[in-house]
Amino acid sequence: DASDTEKGTYPHFMLKEIDEQPIVMRNIIREYQNEKGELKLDKDIRKAMEKADRIYIIAAGTSYHAGLVGKEFLEKLSNIPVEVHVASEFSYNMPLLSEKPLFIFISQSGETADSRAVLVKIKELGHPALTLTNVPGSTLSREANYTLPLHAGPEIAVASTKAYTAQIAVLAVLAVDTARVKGIKLDFDPLQELAIVANAMEVITNQKEELEQLARDYFATTRNAFYIGRSTDYHVAQEAALKLKEISYIQAEGFAGGELKHGTIALIEDGTPVIALTTQENVNYSIRGNVQEVVARGAHALIISSKGLEQDEDAFVLPPVHELLTPLVSVIPMQLLAYYAALHRDCDVDKPRNLAKSVTVE
């Protein structure tokens, strides 16, 4: 049950929270449907979404990474242009706003001061705000016009896991709901697809031994690591690198596969771990080209692919889910790799140095 605040038999909250992700997906499916099995959303939120000519997503850390994935849903499914901004940067370089902007704040805690500063500012300008948060009643939830709860249950480990996947799932629900309200025909039922995702997540969380071994092989002694992906996979690569940095203190970077050659490839040495993600058919060929480029310079490459796109050399194959929702499954091995890397390096998994669960100062 994801509402528990005890570790139970788990050695760390992070591992427990990783394992809870299938339950959280099922909670979201239940909470966002009516008795007839249709999507259920507050009618004022529907109106606000319908009215918006552009969405500005504001967030920090892992929530920002969820926003990058959410932009794809909102643009591809509900046909609204979306900008995603790091909260702490937004105020310095506020973009030209559209005529009818809607601000979406994504925040696990609902207390992040950088995000709140933006909320205060845009309210002064008279713009509407919707907060996606795991803590209804939190500051960002109270001060925004609307709230969408994540239903992830308390997240205690500093490194965010189940809140990230909950944010992405709720953004998918919101995008499809908006498409329906706008009369856009879609061949995509998010509730059905999330049920498939929940099962796929379970398949992966049952492969811990395999992932622990990979973490040992790739991260036991390394000082740095690179995650690469293209398109959607690039966003997950950024989140994967953040997870590894946060809890194992390995210097890590998530890169767009095609951008590596414009500088970063200079850092590849004999044995440098490069983790490549490939879950989208249209990038499968090119990301594998990037893997060859780094392997030719000595990189220790680990390829994680979706079923159907896999090749013999791939170390880990993800169960198939709808192509739009692959971040929900591809992030799970990334979380587990980071977890085991931290464990084997004797790091304090749940309370990494210098970090706080929610940052209430700007």
Which residues contribute to the site for ligand G6P (CB under 6 A)?
60-63, 107-109, 112, 115, 158, 160, 355-359
Q: Measured from the CB of residue 107, what is the shortest distance to ligand G6P in angstroms? A: 3
Bridge partner residues of 54 (DSSP): 101
Tell me the one-letter amino acid at 225: A
| Annotated catalytic residue 357 | yes
Alpha-carbon torsion, ordered 278, 283, 289, 292, to 10 deg:
-10
Q: Measured from the CB of residue 117, what is the shortest distance to ligand G6P in angstroms? A: 12
Q: Which of 56, 170, 198, 68 is CA-nearest to residue 119? A: 56
Between 115 and 306, CB nearer to ligand G6P:
115
Q: Measured from the CB of residue 278, what is the shortest distance to ligand G6P in angstroms? A: 25
Query: What is the distance between the alpha carbons of residues 192 and 248, in angstroms, rounded to a whole number?
Result: 36
255 close to 228: Cβ distance less than 8 angstroms: yes
Between 63 and 78, CB nearer to ligand G6P:
63
Tell me the one-letter amino acid at 141: S
CA distances from 282 to 126, 232, 279, 286, 341 (A): 41, 11, 9, 8, 31
174 close to 46: Cβ distance less than 8 angstroms: no
Q: Annotated catalytic residue: which of 123, 182, 351, 357?
A: 357
143 close to 123: Cβ distance less than 8 angstroms: yes
Q: Measured from the CB of residue 123, what is the shortest distance to ligand G6P in angstroms? A: 18
Between 107 and 141, CB nearer to ligand G6P:
107
Q: Measured from the CB of residue 242, what is the shortest distance to ligand G6P in angstroms? A: 8
The set of residues, in sequence order, having a beta carbon less than 8 Å from that of 196 and lying 6+ positions away, is: 321, 322
Between 140 and 315, CB nearer to ligand G6P:
140
Between 46 and 65, CB nearer to ligand G6P:
65
**CA-only gyration radius of the chain, Å:** 20
Between 109 and 272, CB nearer to ligand G6P:
109
26 close to 75: Cβ distance less than 8 angstroms: no
Q: Which of 75, 56, 67 is CA-nearest to residue 118? A: 56
Q: Measured from the CB of residue 48, what is the shortest distance to ligand G6P in angstroms? A: 21
Report the residue number whose CB is nearest to ligand G6P. Answer: 61
Query: What is the distance between the alpha carbons of residues 138 and 324, in angstroms, rounded to a whole number?
Result: 30
The β-bridge relationship of strands 316-318 and 300-306 is parallel
- The catalytic site residues sit at 357
